[in-house]
């Protein structure tokens, strides 16, 4: 296990340089600025813990990661890179993090954020064979972009948090491509989530105020996009998400339904419409073939431009035309 600190690396620059680093424009609100300059902390080992703000880059693949790190959600986890600070820019630099298979109950994670950290960025690489590819644990204003997640249980897993961005990623051959719970006021856009073994994109457990737009969720074994609450023998224990906007998504060729919205009973294995016959979320201008249950909450499909590859997507979170 290796603990990295950008402050340690830049100590020789003196107090003035350290202060400049903390207020650097690279940490402004523009999460799409991919420029790092030449000043970064290299990462070359599995089990790296990032403990201070700064720019960090992989300089090689991290293969068969199996280093156990204390992690609040699981007690301990085998993690490639763990972020334990605010304002971290982690660039995988085109390299791959892979995990060694575990059969002892220890969860393997490619990249993880410890709870309640803010303004972190994870981007530009591949995570393969980890139970959780990228885990955001109650993160705030954090982005996951231009990542490839494959061969795991969840490609991207989000537990709680708000104002995050998950954009321009590819997730395939996982159990769940993108799996989200209790997320608020965030954007999930321009991802390709295909050929996963259960759902492509699952939005669950009280998630609200999110924008799900311009994603492609084709050829997943069950549903392309599911907005779901959970019940046991008719008693709801995980409320259905409400107040989310799903616009401009393409979902075709999925084995269950392209879109689904309702309550899944984990004991009776039933999928029922949203309680009270209401439509809890705003679906608009999506291309799909099938929906379940069909109670009129999801408008008829449209034909979207297959050439729209989101290159012009600037992650502007405004949705004035959706209301």
pLDDT tens for the chain, residues 1 to 323: 667 766 544 433 333 233 233 323 333 334 444 545 579 999 999 999 999 999 999 999 999 999 999 998 899 999 999 999 999 999 999 999 999 888 888 999 999 999 999 999 999 999 999 999 999 999 999 999 999 999 999 999 999 999 999 999 999 999 999 999 999 999 999 999 999 999 999 999 999 999 999 999 999 999 999 999 999 999 999 999 999 999 999 999 999 999 999 999 999 999 999 988 889 999 999 999 999 988 889 999 999 986 676 776 654 443 444 44
Torsional class of 256: left (φ above 0), alpha (ψ -120 to 50), beta (otherwise): alpha
Predicted model pTM? 0.88
For the chain, the C-alpha Rg in angstroms (whole number) is 20
User: HEC string of the chain?
Assistant: CEEECHHHHCHHHHHHHHHHHHCCHHHCCCCCCCCCCCCCEEECCCCEEECCCEEEEECCCEEEECCEEEECCCEEEEEEEEECCCCEEEECCCCEEEECCCCCCCEEEEEEECCCCECCEEEEEEEECCCEEEEEECCECCEEEEEEEECCCEEEEEECCECCEEECCEEECCCEEEEEECCECCEEECCEEECCCCCCEEEECCCECCEEECCECCCCCCCCEEEEEEEECCEEEECCCECCEEECCEECCCCCCCEEEEEEECCCCEEECCHHHCCCCEEECCEECCEECCCCCCCCCCCCCCCCCCCCCCCCCCCHHHC
Q: What structural domains and CATH numbers belong to the chain?
A: 2-312 (2.160.20)
């Amino acid at each position: 296990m290796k603990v990295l600190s950008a402050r340690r690396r830049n100590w020789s620059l003196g107090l003035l340089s350290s202060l400049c680093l903390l207020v650097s424009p690279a940490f402004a609100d523009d999460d799409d600025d991919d420029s790092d300059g030449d000043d970064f902390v290299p990462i070359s080992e599995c089990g790296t813990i990032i403990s201070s703000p700064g720019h960090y880059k992989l300089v090689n693949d991290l293969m068969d990661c199996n280093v156990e790190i204390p992690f609040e959600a699981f007690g301990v986890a085998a993690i490639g890179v763990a972020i334990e600070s605010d304002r971290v820019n982690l660039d995988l630099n085109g390299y791959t993090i892979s995990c060694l298979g575990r059969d002892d109950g220890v969860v393997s994670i490619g990249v993880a954020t410890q709870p309640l950290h803010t303004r972190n960025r994870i981007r530009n690489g591949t995570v393969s064979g980890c139970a959780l590819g990228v885990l955001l644990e109650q993160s705030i204003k954090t982005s996951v972009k231009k990542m490839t997640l494959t061969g795991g249980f969840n490609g991207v897993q989000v537990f709680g948090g708000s104002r995050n961005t998950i954009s321009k990623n590819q997730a395939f051959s996982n159990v769940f491509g993108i799996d989200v719970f209790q997320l608020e006021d965030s954007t999930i856009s321009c991802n390709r989530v295909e050929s996963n073994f259960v759902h492509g994109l699952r939005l669950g457990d009280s998630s609200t105020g999110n924008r799900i737009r311009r994603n492609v969720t084709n050829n997943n074994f069950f549903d392309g996009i599911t907005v779901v609450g959970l019940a046991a023998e008719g008693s709801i224990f995980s409320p259905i998400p409400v107040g989310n906007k799903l616009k401009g998504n393409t979902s075709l060729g999925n084995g269950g339904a392209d879109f689904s919205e309702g309550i899944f009973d984990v004991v009776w294995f039933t999928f029922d419409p949203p309680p009270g016959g209401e439509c809890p979320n705003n679906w608009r201008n999506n291309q799909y073939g099938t929906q379940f249950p069909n109670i009129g909450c999801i408008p008829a499909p449209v034909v979207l431009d297959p050439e729209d590859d989101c290159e012009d997507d600037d992650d502007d979170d405004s949705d004035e035309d959706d209301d």
